[in-house]
Structure 1
């Protein structure tokens, strides 16, 4: 399958933004940087993210639905413990019934992969020795200008792992390229980690083992992989990645404030957060645990209830046992006559 349509689309957006910034006087070089090209890459990110914003909202809603299903998922795991096939079948049926998609959380990232690959391919072509200067809608002047565009004197088409031959063709200094590219790779790793950590801190760890494995992969695996793969990315592509991460941080913060996660999605992986500090009893709660329906008084008697005037005496307890002499008999009382033989 040809990806030319992606290269044409990426080139068209990139060149439109570059022309816009050049038309307002940003076509020069300042601090060793061609800002019209750098800003064109930055606003390429803005364009793509605005287009994908509805997908991002669907991603958040899907994550909320998955969090709400965690108690049911946990119940299925307990019910079908040891029967993985039945568990998977029941969980798929649950997701289908509740209209929840576990893969929706990764959809925005997957949709940006073609954009990333397209920009990678377009920037990799920026080589003075390349004779195909008019591919994907470029003019010869635009191609030549982009070939010499740089960030702090490091060409946008260069990378940390550029060979001596590639640096010579780009007329670049090896130390400058490695410093600029190295710093950008570290920023790329940090912001990639921050985007995943921000979401997990707000929504909590998933109860589903598969979802939790994906969260761990996104939090630790991807940033660490960039330490190696980042050396193969052109500086222009790293600028795209860092800008995309910063945009994601701001967008997630806005969405999480506007659509806060449910109380069950706390830091403990879906359990409700415990109140901090001493717990105060609510005003008006019954004071007597034995008689919760009565309030006001040591024994829970209601104030509206009339107090008995005299205590109730249990006559059975006070009566003498058969054959026992009465204690403290009343004065003047005659002893009971003995029955006649």
Structure 2
């Protein structure tokens, strides 16, 4: 299957934003060793993609809230089918189907961004002055030459930590500078990737479902560690895209989690209703409106009228015995 349509789409967005910044008057020449019009084009490629994927992000949050609400039932199934993994998985899949919850929805926005990442990776790898097909994917020769010479703090955006001496010579770059800038950006990329996963897990809690917990651990530790190796082959422009995307995610998640906070129990575990020490659920008014809260508030159960208080005997009076009748009058 040809991926040219992705390369054309990524190229069109990059070139459109670059032309927009040129029209606004962003300096074309390097300032502080940086061609800001191309850096901003990459940054706003992230903005464009995230705006397009915002409805998917909303579905991701809704699915995570649904999974949190199901945690007590998941725990019951784990206790019921302890030691029978096959039956447990069948029961859990049936529970997810019945409640219309998808455990993989939490990873969907990330999966949908993979084609964008691959497209940008492919496009930036082409920014080599030795390439003859400079007009590929809608680029003009002038745009190609401008992008191939674009730099961030004197390191070309097409360069990478593992660039060969020949590649660096064609880009007119210093090998030490490229390694320092790329190395710093890789560490920032790892750190921000870790923080985005940690932010969500700290707010929503660790899942009871082993499959969900495994996905959480993979996203929290596995992906950032893998970037330490794979980051050496990423062009600097791709790392800028990744870091910008992480920062965008941190801000978006913080806004959503602050505006629509998950329910927290008295033990600090999210996803279930808070309880008082006596075991009763406190009455909390339901918020209406908002894209994460479309359900009607639950009906309030009217409180039972209190029993009338019976006045006790006055001080010094003899207690009355209800079993005995009224005292006979002495003649």
Please classify the TM superposition score into its range, dividing by the shorter chain length.
Answer: 0.7 to 0.9
2:312 equivalent to 1:305? yes
Deviations, residues 191-226 of structure 1 (Å, cap 9, x unaligned): 111101110111011010110111111111111111
Aligned to 1:100: 101
Look up the match of 2:121.
120
Structure 1 counterpart of 2:35? 34
Deviations 1:142-201 (A, max 9, x none): 001101000000000000111111111111001110111111111111111110111011
Distance 1:130 1:80, change over 3 A: same
Shift of 1:257: 1.5
Given that residues 192 and 247 in structure 2 are in contact (C-alpha distance below 8 angstroms), is that contact kept between their aligned partners in structure 1?
Answer: yes
Cα deviation digits, residues 267-293 of structure 1 (max 9, x gap) = 5465777999xxxxxxxxxxxxxxxx9
Q: 49-58 or 19-28: which moved more?
A: 19-28
TM-superposition CA deviations, 1:246-278 (whole Å, max 9, x none): 0000000111122211224975465777999xx
Q: Could you tell me whether the CA contact under 8 Å between 1:189 and 1:226 is conserved in 2?
A: yes
Does the alignment pair 1:194 with 2:187?
no
Number of the residue aligned with 1:244: 245
- Matched with 1:67 is 68
RMSD, aligned α-carbons: 2.3
Contact 1:205 1:270 in 2 (8 A): no
Ranges in structure 1 where 5+ consecutive residues have no aligned partner: 277-292, 296-301, 314-341
Residues 40-74 of structure 1: per-residue CA shift (max 9 Å, x gap) = 00000000000000100100000000000011111
2:74, 2:209 within 8 Å by CA — same for their partners in 1? yes
Instruction: Give the distance between the partners of 1:105 and 1:6, measured in 2 at CA.
Output: 24
**Deviations 1:289-341 (Å, cap 9, x if unpaired)?**
xxxx999xxxxxx673334821579xxxxxxxxxxxxxxxxxxxxxxxxxxxx
Residues paired across the two proteins, number: 292
TM-score scaled by structure 1? 0.81
Q: Does 1:84 align with 2:67?
A: no
How many Å separate the matches in 2 of 1:275 and 1:150?
59
Partners of 1:214 and 1:152 in 2: CA distance: 37
Task: Report the CA distance shift for 1:20/1:177 in structure 2 as closer, same or farther (over 3 A).
Answer: same
Q: Which residue of 1 aligns with 2:56?
A: 55
Contact 1:159/1:231, CA 8 A, preserved across alignment? yes
Larger radius of gyration between Structure 1 and Structure 2: 1
Aligned match of 2:21: 21
TM-score calculated relative to the size of structure 2: 0.83
1:135 is aligned to 136
* Contact 1:266–1:272 under 8 Å retained in 2: no
Deviation at 1:28, TM superposition (A): 2.3
Q: Is residue 256 from structure 1 mapped to residue 257 from structure 2 by the alignment? A: yes
Q: Secondary structure at the match of 1:33?
A: coil
Measure the CA separation in 1 of the matches of 2:33 and 2:222. 34
Q: Does 1:109 align with 2:110?
A: yes
1:2 matched to 2:2: yes
Output one character per residue of 1:5-27: Cα deviation in whole Å (capped at 9) or x when no partner: 00000000000000000112212
In the aligned structure 2, how far is the partner of 1:168 from the partner of 1:212?
A: 47
The answer to whether the 8 A contact 1:11-1:137 is kept is yes
Give 5+ residue unaligned stretches, structure 2: 278-305, 322-331
CA distance in 2, matches of 1:99, 1:271: 18
